[in-house]
Amino acid sequence: MFRLFKSQRLRKSSDFEKFRSKDTRSIYGGTFVLKSLKRVTVGTSFHDLTPRIGIITSRKIGNAVTRNRVRRVVREAFRLNLKCFKQSHDYLFIALLGIGTKSNKEITNAVLNAVKLL
């Protein structure tokens, strides 16, 4: 497993707040909610065109080990399937209650199916 570049992650709280304030496309997948937001790009550099991802997991999901596993699997699915994600879009995954009991393969398939629906 490799790390995502900083340009591929939502890092600031203002990035996450944009999903609240603006109208976003949402997909409810049963295991998580996927929100997508088109970013305003200034140029055509790698940092402007690359999709970014943010993941929210609450304590209701499970203990820290479970929450970190879910984040790790979602990030890995994002990294391996970057071609499925639209350029210059931000994606926010909000994990729901039953995701902690799913296997890694089920979480990966749920991520890919939700992205195809957007």
Instruction: Identify the CATH number of the domain in which residue 70 sits.
Output: 3.30.230.10
- Reading the block at residue 115, the tokens are 């992205």
Range of the domain at 88: 6-117
- pLDDT mean over 41-69: 84
Tally Cβ neighbours within 10 Å of residue 39.
16
The pLDDT of residue 45 is above 70: no
pLDDT at 13: 87
Between CA 36 and CA 54 the distance in angstroms is 10
Which residues, at least 6 apart from 109, have a Cβ–Cβ distance to it below 8 Å? none
Query: What is the separation of C-alpha 29 from the centre of its chain, rounded to a whole number of angstroms?
Result: 13
pLDDT digits (tens, 9 = 90+) for 63-108: 999 999 999 999 999 999 988 888 888 899 999 998 999 999 999 9
pLDDT at 44: 64
- How many domains does the chain contain in total? 1
Identify whether 83 is part of a domain.
yes
pLDDT at 36: 86
Concatenated DSSP letters of 89-115: EEEEEEE-GGGGGS-HHHHHHHHHHHH
Identify whether 62 is part of a domain.
yes
Identify whether 1 is part of a domain.
no
